[in-house]
Chain A
Amino acid sequence: MSVLPTPLRPTRPAFLTRTTPVARLVAGMTWLLASIVTLDPMVPVRLSVAALVALWLWSGLPLRRIPGRLAPLGFAILSLTVFSILLSSANGDRTLATVAQFGPARITGPAISAGLAIGLRVVVIALTTLLVFGPSDPTRMADSLVEQWHLPDRFAYGTLAALRVAPFMAGDWATIGAARRLRGLQPRGPVARVRESGGRLLVMLISAIRRAERLALAMDARGFDSGVRRTHFRVLRTTWRDWLTIAVACAVAAAALELPH
């Protein structure tokens, strides 16, 4: 019984699947920066369109599965946008025209555009993350960080091992909930519910720590971080594709920022 959906993997070779993960990371950062330096909502709109085009043409990811994957973010984006609009400081500026009025709450045009910009940023972040991490599996990202950026082995591969254990934790969480219901634990009211979640979380943490201890021992037994200089089974080299990806990403970010002028 799996609670987490199977990971999104490229179904065909594509331009971005042949780039190295750190190159995509750099390229992605330019878009994230571009989307947060301005409150113009058109910038994240243009970047989102560019990201969708890139996902469609160059990521190799199965397109029809992407909306399902991003759906859980929909609520977060919506509520972030609404609250950003309601709580914007521009609403207090009496020189601006009122666009809408809900009781004491007054909403101005600049508040709406700033709120939209903030909500759309999350869309850009989500799509860019897919472009950066989607085209290769997490192992390649760890290889790339260690080989090209010389991050410590212990950090990169330790994180990778933790990632591999995550689906087991999700399974444990569901099983613990089921087991506790069958023991007759059904909290009534918010306080009891929070206490019950605490108990459930504690059991999951204990089980996760056990699992981590066993994994760490197995990694030690296989000579991980034993002082020998580690070699690499996957050799990742920076190619023209990486430079092209970064250059195009920079150009798109610049265009998205400067088009209005």
Chain B
Amino acid sequence: MFKIILNRILIAIPVLLIVITVTFFFIRMAPGGPFDTEKVLPPEITKNLNKYYNLDKPVFLQYTDYLKNLTHGDFGPSFRHSNRTVSEMIFTGLPITFELGVYAILIAICIGIFAGLLAALSPNSMQDYIPMSFAMTGICMPSFLLGPVLVLIFGIWFDLLPVSGWNTLPGDKILPSITLGATYAAYVARLTRGGMLEVMYQDFIRTARAKGLPEAMVVMRHALRGGLLPVVSFLGPAIAGLLAGSFVVETIFQVPGLGRFYIKAAFDRDYTMILGTTIFYSALIIFFNLFSDILTSWLDPRLREH
């Protein structure tokens, strides 16, 4: 097991390098530069700006310079925010997005698995239809819709919770967490139900039942492990995807997280910031995909032996 993990970590380096390289050249190919504004600048000013940020050098040279700085852990200054470096910005936004993500994932897992189990244990009954209807509603309610609806109900009509903010007013974390978690909860519920149904037909469950084990034991000890496999493969990228996905929620609720930086950097063509967040994001993806693979092999004992 340890060897596999080590192997994966080693292979992460070329993966990251490919991501950096492709992103680096992609963003320079995209039309519009970081300093384009509606009022066109005199050419001599543009020239000086490009010089200041080394944009006047050949692209390949810029690329090697960037890699060189990167080996010292230097992501460079943000092109847009002149008094911050990329790493400063990432590390101010990250803890907030992380906290938001943790709440959302906890909500998603708790509600999702519970609803999925309920449904799977007596398929095609009310116990199935009701939670699954909720799940489908959750999937039909993207966060750009659910967020404003929740704000309207709880923030404005009933005036129970703050309409926006993060860590400024009491209770301001609740609505963003629920909004972000809801869609994932719906996915988890559907996948759990599907996965559980798959497992419940299998021989070892029949054997377990035949042995006279109580149904609860059968579910908890035997079925759940296999039944959660699709959920786990889904959660790996989903957790990493929270970073990009949290953008909408962060915008609706004025949460100062990393998601906003990530998306805005792309629109602003803030080259260094795009690269910084992308590197960070790919590291997260590699980590969580690895994590979900490990979890998979733990859940499925047959995989472990090989």
A and B assemble together = no
